[in-house]
A and B are shown apart, each in its own frame.
Chain A
Amino acid sequence: MTTHELANGLDATQVKACCATGYSSDLVSLLLGSSYHPGGTTLTRRLLDAIGLQTGERLVDVACGVGTTSLLAAQDYGALVDGVDLSEANVKLATGAAVATDLADRATFHHGDAEALPLSDGGWDAIICECALCTFPDKPIAAREMARVLRPGGRLGISDITAHRDRLPAELTGIAAWVACIADARPAEEYRDIITAAGLRVTTIEHHTPALERMITQIAARLDLLKMIARPRLEALGVDFDRTGPVLETARRAARGGMLDYVLITAEKPCD
């Protein structure tokens, strides 16, 4: 194998190119769905509990997708939610869902970039960001934006994929590049440093490895399905079905070994 040919059959330059063209997010969408995050609503509740979200508090949901979590926070926690997403289509769908569930007075959705939140300074009690920080090109700026919008004493809750890319087994270089392509995942300590540098104080870091293992199971199942119904198309895109199985098995082992993980991080903005 040359250094440019990766274990999943994708060429390294192709991988970079695909990030640029959006092919990667297409493949991610095929394998995970466009609004997926590991752990589902169970882990979402865990996150909202971890930041101690209270009735009547103002919450920002950064990269809110189609608004599932925002509406859950509005209905079950009684929060007043502002969801922000980069996709106008998502904002429309989320707004429609809020109307349909009678929550439009408690959940509002805005089109905007996480690196330039369309929200004023210091006006929110809490912020959550699920499985999205890893996808932001400039993480320090995104973290500073979240810190800016929080009031003093406000809380931040993040759930995200972590990866020790330099410690991954060689055969996972491919999938690591692939993960890096869809999600510029970092080790938990790096997220902690980014959040700290933004002026927030990290309070907890929890590991939710089973959620990641479930995600790998889902990717494996969807690859099996695509192999059944769209094999030529996927092969033309560079997916080598003979190698996806072993690569995913290695990914499972990496998850068990702590080199890949899913973490929940909470932080707060100091009062002074």
Chain B
Amino acid sequence: MTTRDRDEVFLELTRSICPVCKQTIDAEVNARDDQVFLRKRCPEHGEFEARVYGDADMYVAAQRFNKPGTRPLQTQTEVKDGCPSDCGLCPEHKQHACLGIIEVNTGCNLDCPICFADSGSLREKGPDGYSITLEQCATMLDVFVAAEGEPEVVMFSGGEPTIHKDILAMVDLAQERPINAVNLNTNGLRLASDKTFVTELGRRNRPGRPVNVYLQFDGLEKETHLAIRGRDMREIKQRALDNCAEVGLTVTLVAAIEKDINEHEIGAVIRHGLAHPAARSVVFQPVTHSGRHVEFDPLTRLTNSDVLHAIGKQVPEWLTVDDFFPVPCCAPTCRSVTYLLTQGSPGDPDFGLVPIPRLLQVEDYLDYVANRVVPDYEIREALEKLWSASAFIGTDTSDDRLTKIVDALDCADACGVNLPVALATITENTFMIVVQDFLDPYTLNVRQLMKCCVEEITPDGRLVPFCAYNSVGYREQVRAQMSGVEVADVVPNAIQLQPLLVETRYGSKQVPR
């Protein structure tokens, strides 16, 4: 008998949950075939494995981009059972909240085949849906302010927040508090059809108190819309974008990317964003297999590195994988970002585009493992604010930071060109591209979750890390609390789980007791 080597490199031991019963279990992360997988075993439901990063080399290299966390001013819970059971935030959480999300309702004017929140028209009318009141919203904002002092960004989400009758008043509540920016997460239906509403939003978007629209935008092909949204929304998206441009609202195009549905449209979404005057950033999110989604295979699911490589392949004239750097405030493999300085519109003869990371050595500032001494601490601080989950283009903070970055170019007044001054005139043409993979019940890794900086603010006054909220059962818990109706735990629609699954009335899956 000869011994045989394993076919994988054991990278880490962590904790996760069973995707079926949500019990906390040990998990290991392994590199195999140049990819990274998380594997775990539930005593009751057996072994599960999911692909968590498509490029093992990039996964390991990213770990250096890990900023020491900041303690929030307040935590809301005690440590009792350990992560992820004590959310939150508990005192053991490693990072403060860069971004707070308030879900104002569970109802929606769409019934998308893919919805991590498992929202829809049935929730609007059904027994276990809810809408928060203005008073609850005020309390939730106060919790956020108490925890953060001066929070950077609050995002209103749902459900579909624009169908909440008090949504504008909620924006007002946020703007009355020391919260820098408001983001409105929407499918765009109301923005396309209700110009009065758009005007009212635009009126609230003012210097020092920006309002940005976070517009669901998965692609430009009809098939993509039908597969992800169940409806051809192309004209609606265009009208929504045009209406925002008319009143000066900046828009982030947010694309949920699902394997074999719209991964080929990544470059087209970037191109569309660069061409539309309202669009200032694009966010790509590999579909989070929480809530409701199409059947998928966890072993071949899309990850951040797949999106990054697709960008390099689909718009090679503008971008390569090396133009992106991990965001160091959260766990470094959760989110990668780049910024572009642009001039004109793609197709113009003198269109110009320069990725900011090509202008300076970003890793000299954001590699926290190697660099205790950095060339210039103000530049590091500016880069930290840009490479952050709280970064939204169009905020005063991001404009200031971009101007500061120019100092890193370290060449004021050379050749009679004052680069900082000249660049200040084009910061309004800065474009941000974000790639963000959220954790789901298959991929949940407590090491990443403990440093999450995107939190759901709950009506009972907690800040629950977004991925815990969607994966561990907090969403169901809050829904039950708010509606008074028992809510079953939602289970991923994975190929391997099909024999166990039954459909809920909302289209998501559960395992019958």
Whether the Cβ atoms of A71 and B363 lie closer than 8 Å is no
Shortest CB-to-CB span from A66 to chain B, Å, is 8
Question: Is B481 engaged at the interface, CB distance under 8 Å to the other chain?
Answer: no
Question: Is A218 engaged at the interface, CB distance under 8 Å to the other chain?
Answer: yes
Whether the Cβ atoms of B373 and A33 lie closer than 8 Å is no
Q: How many A-B residue pairs have CB under 8 A?
A: 96
Alpha-carbon gap, A19 to B371, bound state (A): 35
Whether the Cβ atoms of B341 and A225 lie closer than 8 Å is yes
Knowing A72-B373, A101-B373, A225-B341 are in contact, say whether A23-B358 is a contact too (CB < 8 A).
Answer: no
Question: Is B488 engaged at the interface, CB distance under 8 Å to the other chain?
Answer: no
Alpha-carbon gap, A71 to B352, bound state (A): 38
Whether the Cβ atoms of B426 and A40 lie closer than 8 Å is no
Whether the Cβ atoms of A71 and B373 lie closer than 8 Å is yes
Whether the Cβ atoms of B354 and A230 lie closer than 8 Å is no
Please name all residues of chain A whose beta carbon is closer than 8 Å to the beta carbon of B409 when the two chains form the complex: 33, 222
Whether the Cβ atoms of A68 and B415 lie closer than 8 Å is no
Question: Is B63 engaged at the interface, CB distance under 8 Å to the other chain?
Answer: no
Which one of B343, B360, B375, B415 contacts A23 once the chains associate, using CB atoms below 8 Å? B415
Shortest CB-to-CB span from B106 to chain A, Å, is 46
Shortest CB-to-CB span from A88 to chain B, Å, is 17
Which one of A31, A68, A225 contacts B354 once the chains associate, using CB atoms below 8 Å? A225
Whether the Cβ atoms of A229 and B416 lie closer than 8 Å is no
Binds A, one of B42-50, B111-119, B417-425, B450-458: B417-425
Tell me the interface secondary structure of chain A in the complex.
Answer: helix
Question: Is B80 engaged at the interface, CB distance under 8 Å to the other chain?
Answer: no
Please name all residues of chain A whose beta carbon is closer than 8 Å to the beta carbon of B414 when the two chains form the complex: 26-27, 29-30, 34
Whether the Cβ atoms of B358 and A221 lie closer than 8 Å is yes
Please name all residues of chain B whose beta carbon is closer than 8 Å to the beta carbon of A237 when the two chains form the complex: 415
Please name all residues of chain A whose beta carbon is closer than 8 Å to the beta carbon of B353 when the two chains form the complex: 224
Whether the Cβ atoms of A33 and B371 lie closer than 8 Å is no
Question: Is B411 engaged at the interface, CB distance under 8 Å to the other chain?
Answer: yes
Please name all residues of chain B whose beta carbon is closer than 8 Å to the beta carbon of A101 when the two chains form the complex: 373
A interface size (C-beta, 8 A): 38
Question: Is B483 engaged at the interface, CB distance under 8 Å to the other chain?
Answer: no
Shortest CB-to-CB span from A73 to chain B, Å, is 9
Question: Is A271 engaged at the interface, CB distance under 8 Å to the other chain?
Answer: no
Please name all residues of chain A whose beta carbon is closer than 8 Å to the beta carbon of B372 when the two chains form the complex: 75-76
Whether the Cβ atoms of A30 and B415 lie closer than 8 Å is yes
Question: Is A2 engaged at the interface, CB distance under 8 Å to the other chain?
Answer: no
Please name all residues of chain A whose beta carbon is closer than 8 Å to the beta carbon of B419 when the two chains form the complex: 30, 225-226, 229-230
B-facing residues in A27-71 (Cβ within 8 Å): 27, 29-36, 40-42, 45, 66, 68, 71
Closest B residue to A44 by beta carbon equals B364
Please name all residues of chain B whose beta carbon is closer than 8 Å to the beta carbon of A229 when the two chains form the complex: 343, 417, 419, 422-423, 425-426
Closest B residue to A66 by beta carbon equals B375
Chain B window 344-365, contacts with chain A (Cβ cutoff 8 Å), 1 for yes, 0 for no: 0000000011110011110110
Shortest CB-to-CB span from A188 to chain B, Å, is 24
Question: Is A227 engaged at the interface, CB distance under 8 Å to the other chain?
Answer: yes
A-facing residues in B352-400 (Cβ within 8 Å): 352-355, 358-361, 363-364, 367, 370-375
Question: Is A247 engaged at the interface, CB distance under 8 Å to the other chain?
Answer: no
Whether the Cβ atoms of B411 and A221 lie closer than 8 Å is no
Shortest CB-to-CB span from B312 to chain A, Å, is 14
Alpha-carbon gap, A224 to B342, bound state (A): 10
Given A35-B375, A218-B360, A230-B417, 15 new contacts (CB under 8 A): A23-B415, A26-B415, A29-B410, A33-B360, A33-B409, A33-B410, A42-B367, A71-B373, A72-B373, A218-B358, A218-B359, A229-B425, A230-B419, A230-B422, A237-B415
